Structure formats: structure tokens, C-alpha cells
């Protein structure tokens, strides 16, 4: 278990924490693994609840939220299939939801604790001559007897009190950046601070993280360390330029889609054209009606309607009509037409063949 991790965290917790917040943080560190700095499972949550005295996960979540506001994020967010933290409708990171209680905890690294004092300065001020390997001040009790005075008054030893520095009136609070970024995760703060000179926004920062997560082919176990290494290589500005380029192209495409079509101005009539009189207009309408008389309207396939004029009856010569009438009365008309076609050849017209077949019938 994380006994050494508990002692490490105990020497770095700020004095402004309440006793309940301090107890929860140290118990999570005690249950965490020394190498991964993480604690998993519902059994681990049950142990933390039993040892801290809280009734349920709801009370434990309130304490962890207060720790996060002080810059000590010990909750692991719920992540989606893309590896990104799941957020609610208000954009807040979700650590628990209906049917899924908070069951994963993490002990942050020293660089992820902006509100915690450094180990050396803290130990030098609280107990001069103490080695960092001797444990924390809370793990060692005062010796029994009359020398154990509450504040060192009886023994004559002056014990310094650790009081957080309060800024004077008119000066900005040193915790204001942390209060503004308390809702951000540790790796989000890493990316935001690395791209601060480029004027990155929170939305652009999240898009950069999404691009890096998509490009990564392995599961990111330690997001803060992973993005810190990318920032050290100097690759974050390239991802930011890519995100901004995609945003500009999307805005340009949306502007083209919403842009109305150009309006063509109407051409004024020529000055030399005489105006059309009412008699000329009526005559033109009558001529069009005469042309369209007897025409039928047929709807085209995917196009405008078409006007179809009726076919005029074909004029048949009298000799051809008489030949047709003579052949219709005979039973061997097909043989006569075949014989006439053989005599005239294949290039002869139909009327010529019919007339010759009628002549062969009379012969």
C-alpha cells in the first residue's frame, strides 16, 4: 500500500485544509499504489469511508470537491470511448453518475499541486533539523509528561504556527489563478499554461487535447505526464495551429452556405424600341392560340411540360387505295406481295409493291 506516499503527501498539504479534507487526502494516499499513485475499486472506497467516518459516497464527494477547489484533485473523471473526460450539459467534468459511483482515485504529483508548499521550505520552517525520511509531523505524537505542552508554553519551546499568507488590500490574491482553473483537470492545466503565450482559449485547449488523443495509438495512463512531455518537445503549437486552421475552414464554409445568391439587375428596355399597343398585344395572343389549338400537354420526365400537336392524316393515292381493296378480297394476297417484292427488289417502295401485286392478281 502507499504508506510512503501518505507520508510524502502529509508533508505537502497546505495548512488551510480542514481536518476532514486532510484525513480523506491522506487515506486515499494510504490506499494508492506507490508506482501508479492510483486506487481502484468499490472495496477501496468502502475502506476510505470506514476509516474517515463518512456515511456514504455523497459526503465523500463533497469533501473531494473542496479539495479540488484548493488545487488538490484526487478524483479520476469518467472517460468515454475516445479517452476524453465525460462532461455534463454545463461543461463540467463528471466523476460519478446514476448507476456509477466514484471508485477511482489518484494522488497528484508535486507539479500538479500549485497551492501546496514545497517540501524543503515547509519542513525547514516547521521543524529545523528534521530529515524528509523521518515522516510527517502528524505521524509523531508529543512525548507524555509535563513537557508535552499544547503550544510549547510550559516547556519554553517556541513552536511556529503555519498561517497562510493573506494579501494586503489592493493586491491580487495569489490563489486567483487556481480559483479560475479549479474546474480544469491537471493535464488541461498543463496544456493551457504551455499555450498561454499563444492566447489559447479553453475550447481550443480541449480541441488540442482531442487531436492529440486521436493521434495517440496507446491508452494514456498518466494524462498530465503525457501532455507535459509533449509540451517539453514543443509540439503543442503545431496542434494549436491545426485546430485554428480547421476552425477557420469551417467558418468559411458556413459563411458560403449562408451567403445569398447574387441578384442580377433587370435590363431596362432599349430607348429606340416603340412601345407595344393593345391591338398588337391582342393580335399576338390570338396568333399563339391558333398555333396551340388542338395541341395536348404532356409532362416531361424531370423537365417542363411539352406541347404535342396531333398528327395530320396521310393522303393515299387512288391507285394504291384500289390495289389495297383488291388484295383484301383475295386469300393469296401474301403470295402476290412476295412475288411483287421479288420482281421489284428490296429498294422498291411499299406503294409500288402493292400496285404490282394487284396487277398480278388480275393477270
Work out how many domains the chain is built from and give that number. 3
- pTM across the whole model: 0.38
For residues 192 and 82, membership in a common domain is answered with no
Query: What end-to-end distance do the CA atoms of the chain give, in Å?
Result: 127
18 and 124 both lie in a single domain: yes
Q: Are residues 100 and 31 in the same domain?
A: yes
Instruction: Kindly indicate the confidence band of residue 310, based on its pLDDT and cuts at 50, 70 and 90.
Output: low
Domain assignment present for residue 337? The answer is yes
Same domain, 248 and 345: no
Contact by Cβ (8 Å): 76, 106? yes
Does residue 104 share a domain with residue 44? yes
**C-alpha angle with apex 103: 102 to 106, nearest 5 degrees?**
100
Report the 10 Å Cβ neighbour count for 69: 16
* 116 plus 224 within the same structural domain: no
Last residue of a domain, one of 134, 151, 168: 134
Q: Which of 256, 281, 304 is the last residue of a domain?
A: 256
Do the beta carbons of residue 218 and residue 236 sit within 8 Å?
A: no
Predicted local distance difference test score (pLDDT) of residue 271: 62
More reliable by pLDDT, 299 or 141:
299
Q: What is the DSSP string of 145-194?
A: STT--SSSTTTTPPPPP-----PPTTS--TTHHHHHTTTS-HHHHHHHHH
CA–CA gap between residue 176 and residue 355 (Å, rounded)? 114
180-196 confidence digits (pLDDT tens):
445 788 888 889 999 99
Q: What kind and span of H or E run contains 104?
A: strand 104-106
Q: What is the mean pLDDT of residues 32-59?
A: 88
- Residue 348 falls inside a structural domain: yes
Residue 98 in any domain: the answer is yes
- 272 located within any domain: no
Residues 122 and 194 in one domain: no
Cα dist from 15 to 126, 165, 362, whole Å: 11, 11, 135
pLDDT tens digit string along 259-303? 777 777 776 666 667 788 889 889 999 888 887 777 766 665 556
> To the nearest 10°, the Cα dihedral for 28, 29, 31, 36?
120
pLDDT band for position 306 (cuts 50, 70, 90): low
Q: What share of the chain is helix, strand, coil (3-state, %, to 5)?
A: 50, 5, 45
Regarding whether 124 and 22 lie in a shared domain, the answer is yes
Which of 80, 108, 101 shows the shortest CA–CA distance to 210?
80
Q: Is residue 230 part of a domain?
A: yes
Between residues 325 and 304, which one has the greater pLDDT? Answer: 325
- Rounded distance, CA 268 to CA 315, Å? 51
> In Å, how far from its chain's centre is CA 161?
50
State the pLDDT at residue 160: 45
Final residue in a domain of this structure, among 134, 165, 196: 134
Asked, for residue 95, whether it belongs to a domain, the answer is yes
Is 152 among the domain residues?
no
Distances (CA, A) of 55 to 52, 74, 264: 9, 19, 75
188 and 130, same structural domain? no
CA distances from 274 to 140, 266, 269, 271, 280 (A): 113, 19, 10, 8, 12
Which residue in 349, 345, 346, 329 sits closest to 358, CA to CA?
329
Whether residues 218 and 117 share a domain: the answer is no
What's the pLDDT tens digit per position in 106-136? 998 888 875 554 444 444 444 444 444 444 4
- On whether residue 52 sits in a domain, the answer given is yes
Tell me if 301 sits within 8 A of 308, measured CB to CB: no
**Domain of 33, in residue numbers:** 3-134
pLDDT number for residue 23 = 92
pLDDT in tens, 4-32: 888 888 888 888 889 999 999 899 989 89
Same-domain status, 233 and 327: no
Cell numbers 409493291 correspond to what residue? 353
Amino acid at each position: 500500500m502507499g504508506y510512503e506516499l501518505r507520508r510524502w503527501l502529509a508533508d505537502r498539504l497546505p495548512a488551510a485544509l480542514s481536518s476532514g479534507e486532510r484525513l480523506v487526502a491522506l487515506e486515499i494516499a494510504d490506499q494508492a499504489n506507490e508506482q501508479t499513485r492510483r486506487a481502484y475499486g468499490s472495496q477501496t472506497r468502502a475502506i476510505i469511508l470506514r476509516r474517515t467516518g463518512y456515511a456514504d459516497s455523497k459526503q465523500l464527494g463533497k469533501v473531494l470537491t473542496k479539495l479540488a477547489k484548493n488545487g488538490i484533485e484526487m478524483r479520476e473523471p469518467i472517460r468515454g470511448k475516445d479517452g476524453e473526460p465525460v462532461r455534463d450539459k454545463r461543461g463540467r467534468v463528471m466523476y460519478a453518475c446514476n448507476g456509477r459511483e466514484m471508485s477511482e482515485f489518484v494522488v497528484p504529483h508535486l507539479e500538479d499541486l500549485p497551492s501546496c508548499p514545497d517540501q524543503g521550505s515547509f519542513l525547514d520552517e516547521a521543524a529545523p533539523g528534521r530529515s524528509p525520511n523521518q515522516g510527517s509531523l502528524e505521524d509523531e505524537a508529543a512525548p507524555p509528561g509535563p513537557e508535552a505542552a499544547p503550544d510549547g508554553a510550559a516547556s519554553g519551546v517556541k513552536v511556529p504556527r503555519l498561517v497562510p499568507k493573506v494579501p494586503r488590500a489592493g493586491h491580487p490574491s495569489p490563489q486567483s489563478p487556481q480559483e479560475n482553473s479549479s474546474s480544469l483537470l491537471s493535464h488541461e492545466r498543463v496544456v493551457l499554461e504551455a499555450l498561454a503565450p499563444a492566447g489559447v482559449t479553453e475550447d481550443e485547449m480541449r480541441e488540442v487535447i482531442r487531436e492529440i488523443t486521436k493521434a495517440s495509438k496507446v491508452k494514456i495512463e498518466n494524462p498530465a505526464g503525457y501532455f507535459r512531455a509533449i509540451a517539453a518537445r514543443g509540439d503543442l503549437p503545431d496542434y494549436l495551429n491545426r485546430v485554428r486552421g480547421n476552425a477557420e475552414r469551417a467558418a468559411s464554409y458556413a459563411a458560403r452556405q449562408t451567403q445569398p445568391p447574387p441578384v442580377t439587375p433587370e435590363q431596362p428596355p432599349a430607348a429606340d424600341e416603340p412601345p407595344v399597343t393593345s391591338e398588337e398585344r391582342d393580335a399576338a395572343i390570338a396568333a399563339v392560340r391558333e398555333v396551340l389549338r388542338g395541341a395536348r400537354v404532356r409532362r416531361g420526365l424531370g423537365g417542363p411540360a411539352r406541347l404535342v400537336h396531333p398528327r395530320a392524316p396521310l393522303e393515299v393515292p387512288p391507285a394504291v387505295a384500289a390495289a389495297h381493296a383488291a388484295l383484301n378480297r383475295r386469300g393469296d394476297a401474301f403470295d402476290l406481295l412476295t412475288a411483287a417484292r421479288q420482281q421489284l427488289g428490296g429498294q422498291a417502295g411499299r406503294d409500288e409493291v402493292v400496285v404490282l401485286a394487284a396487277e398480278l392478281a388480275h393477270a
